[in-house]
Amino acid sequence: MLQRVSMTDFRVFAAAIVEPAEEGTTVLTGANGIGKTTVLEAVAFLGLQRSFRGAPREAVIRNGAERGYVRGELVVEGRRITVELELARGAGSRAQVNRQRARRRELAEAVPSTVFSPEDLEVVRGGPAGRRRLLDDALVGLDHRAATALDGAERALRQRGALLRQAGGRLSAEVERSLDVWDARLATAGDALVSARRVLLGQLHPLVEAAYRALAGTVRVGLRYESSWSGPYADALVARRREDLRRAATTVGPHRDDVVIELDGRDARLQASQGEQRCLALGLRLGLHRLLTARLGRPPLLLLDDVFSELDPTRTRALVLQLPPGQCLLTTAVPVPSGVQVAKVLDVAGLST
């Protein structure tokens, strides 16, 4: 359970402390622009090391400050855990769990969370990056091997991309030897990552379909992984090498893949209504939350950012019934729906220290 989160030079807060209820829902109240969503963003940052609002790291550091800090204090199965983030403009950011330098896998395990926000709609109707990120965020917290493959693929892509840019479109013997090395590393990590994504999508599918039906009625939901290449990835990299040199970029790989979401065979991105897309976004988050709960043996922290304001009363009631028990932080621009167990109300205006 999250006991306390402290923010220093984070967004609008010079210094602030939040102490949520350990069970049930903590409702964050206050005027628009006062920092309600920022509190949820800081909590999610502890596990994700990035903003769920899509903001670059520099944007969450308070204007006029060079660094921002977020500290979370938790108790998990009787063990005290402290997570500390130091956010810098440019290089120099650090993350620690119990004073030990931590990678994103350790952070995801220390502060698992599920975020529901208006931005989730873009996962369904936006470009492929949001759908890939949805899977990869879950894999980091669920599968150590997949997290290692993700790190390896990202590192190899960066190095290969830098080499392609330096080559200037010319395939010299030295460039070819270096490409052979990075292609081998990228192929190994990329194949492992895509395999893990496919497995996760298969596990997630029935959970998302069940959640969507509870929210919006009986409809067949389809989730299909769409790869940017066929056959062994190593062969695809060799086949695209000259084109990659010409473009100075890696044109096939897990960073180019997509997840196709369908409703009764219709492409949800292009042919679903906004109401259907919103319910799909909620269904995806509910499915992931249930999968994480089953794997971790405890529910992740639930962060609800103004999710009720865009739902009609029927879907609001359905969502409330679907919300799992556990610790929850909620911001809302409308009255808290009946059925939500409110354990504590915090006025964000009084959080600053």
pLDDT tens column, 138-152: 999 899 999 999 999
Q: What is the pLDDT along the chain (353 residues), one digit of tens a residue?
A: 999 999 999 999 999 999 999 889 999 998 888 899 999 999 999 999 889 988 888 899 999 999 999 999 999 888 999 999 999 988 889 999 999 999 889 999 999 999 999 889 999 999 999 999 999 999 998 999 999 999 999 999 999 999 999 999 999 999 999 999 999 999 999 999 999 999 999 999 999 999 999 998 878 999 999 999 999 999 999 999 999 999 999 999 999 999 999 999 999 999 999 989 999 999 999 999 999 999 888 899 999 999 888 888 888 888 888 888 889 999 987 888 888 889 999 999 888 76
Contact 17, 4 (CB under 8 A): yes
What is the pLDDT, as a whole number, of residue 131?
96
Q: Which residues, other chains included, contact 55 with Cβ-Cβ below 8 Å and sequence gap of 6+?
A: none
Q: Considering the domain boundaries, does residue 38 fall inside one?
A: yes
Q: Considering the domain boundaries, does residue 2 fall inside one?
A: yes
Q: Considering the domain boundaries, does residue 45 fall inside one?
A: yes
Nearest C-alpha neighbor of 274 from the set 311, 305, 307, 308: 311
Q: Considering the domain boundaries, does residue 34 fall inside one?
A: yes
Strand blocks (E) in the chain: 2-10, 13-18, 24-29, 67-76, 79-88, 94-97, 100-101, 113-116, 221-226, 258-263, 266-267, 301-305, 327-331, 342-347
User: What tens digit of pLDDT does each residue of 152-201 get?
Assistant: 999 999 999 999 999 999 999 999 999 999 999 999 999 999 999 999 99
The CATH number of the domain where 15 resides is what?
3.40.50.300
What is the pLDDT, as a whole number, of residue 283?
94
Spatial distance between the Cα atoms of 248 and 181, rounded to a whole number of angstroms: 17
Q: Considering the domain boundaries, does residue 42 fall inside one?
A: yes
Q: Considering the domain boundaries, does residue 74 fall inside one?
A: yes
Helix axes 128-142, 173-216, angle to 10 degrees: 90
Query: Reduced to 3 states, what is the DSSP secondary structure of residue 195?
Result: helix
Contact 12, 34 (CB under 8 A): yes
Nearest C-alpha neighbor of 120 from the set 346, 237, 243, 283: 283
Output DSSP code: residue 22.
S
Q: Considering the domain boundaries, does residue 157 fall inside one?
A: no
Tell me how long the chain is: 353
Q: What's the Cα-to-Cα distance from 181 to each of 59, 155, 163, 167, 188, rounded to whole Å?
A: 36, 13, 11, 15, 11
**How many domains does the chain divide into?**
1
Q: Considering the domain boundaries, does residue 21 fall inside one?
A: yes
Domain that holds residue 91: 1-112+300-353
